[in-house]
Structure 1
Amino acid sequence: MSHRQVLESLSGLLLGMFVSILAGTVVATSLPLIISDLKGDQSAYTWVVTATLLATTVSTPIWGKFADLFNRKLLIQLALVVFVLGSALAGFAQNTDTLIVFRIMQGLGGGGLAALSQIIMADIISPRERGRYAGLFGAVMALGTIGGPLLGGVVTDAFGWRWNFFIALPVAIVAIILLQVTLHLPERVKRVVSIDYLGIVLISAGVSLLLIWVTLAGNSFEWASLPSSAMVLGAAILLLIAVIVEFKAKEPIIPLDLFKNRTVTLAVIASLSVGVAMFGTSVFLSQYMQLARGATPTESGLLTIPMMGGLLISSTFFGNLISRTGKWKSIMVSGSVLVLAGSLLLGSLRYDTSLVFVGVFMFILGAGVGMIMQNLVLVVQNTVEITHLGVATSTVTFFRSLGGTVGVAVMGSVLGTVVAQYIRDGTGALSPANRAVAAETVGDGTIPQVSLLPAALRVVVESAYGMGVGNVFLLMVPLAVITLVTIALLPNIPLGTMTGIDRERSAAAGEAASPATGRILVDVSTASVALPPSEPELDEGKIRS
């Protein structure tokens, strides 16, 4: 395909991805106001975020497996429909419980969009060229992530927060039509399909129970308690049975043989902490800006631009650099160093930290994430067999979402506990009248509207959230170290020059395409070779040699 043909095929894919990001980020800046309006607490705030991530995490490997079995174009259109339908329904939520349910529906579609966009890109672009186009995905992701919170803030201030859930609908309709018109994939080889239903149920139940435990522990019950132990034990048993089932299944949801590949194993470990950095910062920086700095939703969107600006610039620039040079490892190691530095710097946040410094810290972290996130998928796709392209891609995305979900849940639990303690300590020195207001507005753990609080109490709440968010970012530091180590250990395999479709056709023709080099390896032991009449002395052994 020419460069123009590739861009045409990617147009609907990019717009669909933009819709999913926009629908997710447009509520980021207004989420504190939404939870406050629906009378929710910190636990509800965390659940609204983690419910989407949970559904995305659980559904991602399922979508990835379906991509190896069914029509990928139809699947991504279906995922887009499910996603925007869930988003639209969320706009009618009357309490946090119904909001969480519709956010789960959003997440089910989001899992398909996250996995299938990467899989289809691998179908039509070779690993060597993919960095060039991965920059486009990074740019779209950054545009949606930057523009979403800003647009959400403006819409919330002008029309109310419910309209945030509706604005993605017209764009989604255009994306579905564009996918139908521009995306042309060849017919897949017909084969008998065997769906691992038991594996789907066990993996979904085990991961869901684990994430529910992480979300509830520290709020509904203590970390070291009987309910906590029961949930951990139940999740462990379900996942252990799932491993046994996956070993025996004909078409496993997550083929465990994948983890014999060193690149896949290390990329999965690294993606866990990248997920925490990506999802955690977007969630808790909005809380920091509004609850510790008194920003409006619109101002909050503007103040978080440096984070996404760093991601946009680094993913675009280094994506093109990888395509030109074919060298990726030094870039990814440098990115992991920036993630570590950004996490340490954001750990120093307080309610009175200079916003210039906050912007620099966010830019550093965003640049690091931009250098790593897309390239982790790239190096995995470059090394796996073509028959496992879909499931390998979704496995990396699955663990990135899993890391983000667990990370946000743990960080939210820690933040709720720390903020409550800081507020209790800070209100002790206030007047009886202010202590009474504190007991009424923040005593039950609900997220307050800071602008409505008395000046003395407002300082206490802002200080508590400033300290709390800073402490939460320090939890990312050990994970950033793990990312640095695992990326440094990745095998430095050259990027191949064959597209996924080319490799699939080669495999169907009885040839084996080396995923790392793109060279065609023909099994001459079964090939019909015509010997030149001038060289009758050639025998089978020499032909093999």
Structure 2
Amino acid sequence: MSPTGKQTKQPEGPETAEKPEPQPRSVRVVLLALMIAMLLAMLDNMIVGTAMPTIVGELGGLAHLSWVVTAYTLATAASTPIWGKLGDIYGRKGVFLTSIVVFLIGSALSGMAQDMGQLIGFRAVQGLGAGGLMVGVMAIIGDLIPPRERGKYQGMMAGVMALAMIGGPLVGGTITDHLGWRWSFYINLPLGALALVMITAVLHLPAKDRTKVKVDYLGAALLTVGITAIVLVTTWGGTEYAWGSAMIMELIAIGVVSLVGFVFVQTRVAEPIMPLHIFRSRNFSLMSVIGFLTGFVMFGAVLFLPLYQQAVQGASATNSGLLLLPMLLSMMVVSLIAGRITTSSGRYKIFPILGGALMVVGLFLLAQMDTGTSRLTSGLYMAVLGAGMGFLMQITMLVAQNSVEMKDMGVGSSTTTLFRTLGGSFGAAIMGALFTSRVQDEMAARAGAGGAGVTEQSTQLDAASLAKLPDLVREAYQHAVSTGTHAAFTLGAAIAVIGFVAAFFVKEVPLRGGEPKPADEADQAPAPAADGRITQSA
């Protein structure tokens, strides 16, 4: 290893594959800092969501409540591919540190907001920074650790996700009750500062040559407009506006025109924001599709499972994060096992197939839940779904990164992240629309006009609120939620079948850092000499 911490050429041949070069201690420290940054990005929305009733009570502006979340989501989705490209152009470290600083500035300003308008604006700033956190983490890991060795760290990343989903609501409730809602944002500052210090001190990546770089501003603008329109359609459709309303139709038209224009621009500029040649790799395109479908299913599950358990099984909303524990623990354990096997064998094609199959089975089982399903049974069903997601969550990123050249690591990581984010947006919208429709129909059939008021607040009733309803209305609502959940998960299972089929077309291209690839490999990843492994001074 180079004592200067610079990029070195890796030896080729079986010896490298059999005995992967151990990562030095400084890389492990960097990984710890990266996990803190990932935790910041994933924890924020879940903490803030718990604090929202208190925020509205103090700042007012109930009519604009949804924009507190929408502004953050829009800014995150729109900025993700831009952060990835900037990292490729100007260097990963500086761009990643900048995204952390922007996120912390947005967090501090959000905590100081004096009205709902300010909070929405500052949340957008926070979202801009968040867009660079996840893609920065993934791209830096792609630079530091060859794909063959990366599997062993999958459990760590899955663990961070599980910690955020479980701990977010609990931490948010505790902070809001004892310190006030502003600390839901201020809590990011010490964590972010720690990540900044650690990354600045120990992360050393090669400098980029910036002399002849021209940023694709037009492409960035068109992509931002297109993504914004898509997210607004999925956020507003069926809620703020009817699906066939003029506003939704206009947004769809704007989104289509912008994205078509974006594709045209990408074929003409020297440094495209999202170079289309990365989609020539069959594996990369398939991972984008599978990532989209995984996001679709995962966000739908996270949305409807707590609702079902609160409304039908009588669970407490306060502990909503714990309700997902079977799914998240299963996901974490399976991800860790799949990562270890990938590292030791270099084989990975079986995991997307297994993951797709288990997702279909898990969603089908969840669709069978009714008002008599026990918590143990639903927990077992969730564990099956979690195992499926565990096989897919990190493998999709690993294969996608292995399918692009090192110079495109940022855009490859950001594109995969973007597709998963958009999948989640579509999943929440489409499954949510189907769920709401079935709940309304069932309430009308069982409770008549008396159930109309309950239907309007169907996503806000917890066990305590349900106990105050008349028996007829409560039972009707529980049946309605069970019916809506069945419809949503049946749709999810049908969507997951597409991912299962797509997994069979994945080509098992050897992972960089392992066995050398045949020269005529059609989906060949870059040669080991260019794999960009970064050695660190201990």
Q: TM-score range by the shorter chain?
A: 0.7 to 0.9
* TM-aligned CA deviation for residue 30 of structure 1: 6.1
Q: Could you tell me which amino acid in structure 2 is paired with residue 297 of structure 1?
A: A
Provide the residue aligned with 2:464 in structure 1: 451
Aligned position for 2:42? 21
Counterpart of 2:360?
Answer: 340
Residue 310 (1) aligns with residue 330 (2): yes
Q: Distance in 2 between matches of 1:290 and 1:331?
A: 33
Cα separation, 2, equivalents of 1:422 and 1:34: 33
**Within 2, Cα distance between the matches of 1:95 and 1:295?**
34
Paired position in structure 2 for 1:428: 448
Unaligned runs of 5+ residues in structure 2 are 2-21, 515-523, 532-538
Aligned-partner Cα distance in 2 for 1:476–1:391: 28
Q: Does 1:296 align with 2:324?
A: no
> Are residue 12 (structure 1) and residue 6 (structure 2) matched?
no
The whole-number CA distance in structure 1 between the counterparts of 2:72 and 2:296 is 14
Structure 2 contact 331–387 (Cα < 8 Å) conserved: yes
How far is 1:369 from its partner?
1.1
- Mapped to 2, the partners of 1:348 and 1:268 lie a distance apart of 30
Within 5 A, what are the aligned runs for 1:82-481?
A: 82-90=102-110, 101-156=121-176, 163-428=183-448, 435=450, 443=456, 447-448=460-461, 451-452=464-465, 454-456=468-470, 457-481=473-497
Map 1:65-80; keep pairs closer than 5 Å.
65-80=85-100
1:376–1:163 distance in 2 versus 1, CA, 3 Å: same
Distance 1:283 1:55, change over 3 A: farther
Q: Deviations over 1:89-133 (max 9, x none)?
A: 555678877665544433322221111111111111111111112
Could you tell me which amino acid in structure 2 is paired with residue 422 of structure 1? E
Q: Which amino acid aligns with 2:525?
A: P
- Which amino acid in the other structure matches residue 455 of structure 1? L
Can you list the C-alpha shifts for 1:415-439, whole angstroms capped at 9, x where unaligned?
A: 333334434444338xxxxx4xx66
Counterparts of 1:208 and 1:218 in 2: how far apart (Å)? 17
Task: Supply the distance in 2 between the matched residues of 1:448 and 1:67 (Cα, whole angstroms).
Answer: 44
**Deviation readout 1:13-64 (Å, 9 max, x if unpaired):** 12111222222333456668878997859x966x655554433222111011
Q: Distance in 2 between matches of 1:23 and 1:520?
A: 36
Alpha-carbon distance in structure 1 between the residues aligned to 2:141 and 2:248: 42
Q: State whether structure 2 residue 532 is matched by structure 1 residue 518.
A: no
Cα distance, 1:461–1:107 mapped onto 2, change above 3 Å: farther
AA of the residue aligned to 1:414: L
Deviations 1:502-524 (A, max 9, x none): xxxxxxxxxxxx73552689xxx
CA distance in 2, matches of 1:427, 1:34: 34
Instruction: Tell me the secondary structure at the aligned position of residue 391 of structure 2.
Output: helix
> Does the C-alpha gap of structure 1 residues 484 and 133 become closer, same or farther in structure 2, counting only changes over 3 Å?
same
Normalising by structure 1, report the TM-score.
0.82
**Cα distance between partner residues in 1 of 2:485 and 2:112:** 30
**Secondary structure at the residue paired with 1:279?**
helix
Deviation at 1:299, TM superposition (A): 2.4
How many pairs does the alignment contain?
497
Aligned-residue identity in percent: 37
Equivalent-residue separation in structure 2 for 1:482 and 1:446 (angstroms):
29
- Give, in whole Å, the separation in 2 of the partners of 1:394 and 1:81: 19
Q: Deviations over 1:115-155 (max 9, x none)?
A: 11111111111111111123322222222333223333444
Secondary structure of 2:89's match? coil
Contact 1:279 1:408 in 2 (8 A): yes
Q: How far apart, CA to CA, are the structure 1 residues paired with 2:439 and 2:115?
A: 24
- Cα distance in 2 for residues equivalent to 1:308 and 1:405: 20
Secondary structure of the structure 2 residue equivalent to 1:295: coil
Q: Which has the larger displacement, 47-56 or 126-135?
A: 47-56
Alignment pair present for 1:54 and 2:54? no
SS in 2 for 1:198: helix
**Distance of aligned partners of 1:70 and 1:124 in 2 relative to their CA distance in 1, 3 Å threshold:** same
Q: In the alignment, which residue of structure 1 is the partner of 2:504?
A: 488
Q: Does the 8 Å contact 1:339/1:480 carry over to 2?
A: yes
Provide the rounded CA distance (Å) in 1 between the counterparts of 2:436 and 2:114.
24
Query: Is the contact between residue 316 and residue 462 of structure 2 (CA under 8 Å) also seen in structure 1?
Result: no
Shift of the 58–223 alpha-carbon distance from structure 1 to 2, 3 Å rule, reads: same
Is the Cα contact below 8 Å between 2:154 and 2:336 reproduced in 1? Answer: yes
Structure 1 position 348, deviation (Å): 2.5
In structure 1, the partner of 2:5 is none
Determine helix, strand or coil for the equivalent of 1:298.
coil
Q: What secondary structure does 2:319 align onto?
A: helix
Name the CA distance, whole Å, in 2 between partners of 1:174 and 1:450. 39
> 2:520: which partner in 1?
none
Q: Which amino acid aligns with 2:460?
A: I
1:218-260 superposed Cα distances (whole Å, 9 cap, x missing partner): 2344323444333322221121111111111111111112211
Equivalent pair of 1:495/1:517 in contact (CA under 8 Å): no
Cα 1:170–1:346 change in 2 (3 A) is same
CA shift in 2, pair 1:226/1:23, >3 Å = closer
Verify the 8 A CA contact 1:28 1:286 in the aligned structure 2. no
Superposed displacement of residue 156, structure 1: 5.0
Residues 25-36 of structure 1: pairs in structure 2 closer than 5 A: 25-27=46-48
Q: Deviations over 1:253-308 (max 9, x none)?
A: 11112211111111111111111123222233333333444433332222211121
| Structure 1 residues 279 and 162, CA gap change in structure 2 (3 angstroms) | farther
CA distance in 2 between counterparts of 1:350 and 1:31 reads: 30
Contact 1:279 1:404 in 2 (8 A): yes
Contact 1:335 1:369 in 2 (8 A): yes
Deviates more, 1:484-493 or 1:420-429: 420-429
Q: Which moved more, 1:83-92 or 1:358-367?
A: 83-92
CA distance in 2, matches of 1:470, 1:95: 40
Deviation at 1:170, TM superposition (A): 1.9
Does the CA contact (< 8 Å) of 1:28 and 1:283 recur in 2? no
- Residue 283 to residue 76, structure 1, CA distance change in 2 (3 Å): farther
